[in-house]
């Protein structure tokens, strides 16, 4: 969370100052930027793409319960909380 904030604000402020304010080290921030996405992050992106596609196909009328059922029919095992 802290590294993500530094990443978002690095255009407006110097990285060293942001790291100091957020109480993180610049070396840790650089390691964060080089680190590949975790398996959970990759699957979240896939699920999000499916959710956006199903929502678009439904003309924006699907809610969380119905969207969860649609995703399960497609073969994506998700729960209501993850879809929400």
Q: 67 pLDDT band (50/70/90 cuts)? A: confident
Q: 72 pLDDT band (50/70/90 cuts)? A: confident
Structure-model confidence comparison of residues 31 and 67, the more confident one: 31
Tell whether the model's pLDDT for residue 14 goes beyond 80: yes
Continuous H helices in the chain: 2-9, 15-22, 26-34, 39-57, 64-74, 80-83
Q: What angle, rounded to 10 degrees, do the helices at 39-57 and 64-74 form?
A: 110
Q: What is the mean pLDDT of residues 32-56?
A: 83
> How many residues are given for the chain?
84
Query: Is 0.75 topped by the overall pTM?
Result: no
Mean pLDDT taken over the chain: 81
Left (φ > 0), alpha (ψ -120 to 50) or beta: where does 37 sit?
beta
């Amino acid at each position: 969370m802290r590294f993500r904030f530094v990443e978002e604000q690095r255009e407006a402020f110097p990285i060293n100052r942001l790291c100091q304010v957020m109480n993180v080290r610049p070396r840790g921030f650089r390691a964060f930027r080089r680190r590949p996405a975790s398996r959970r992050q990759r699957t979240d992106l896939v699920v999000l793409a499916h959710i956006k596609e199903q929502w678009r196909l439904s003309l924006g009328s699907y809610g969380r319960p119905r969207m969860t059922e649609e995703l399960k029919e497609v073969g994506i095992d998700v729960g209501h909380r993850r879809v929400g």
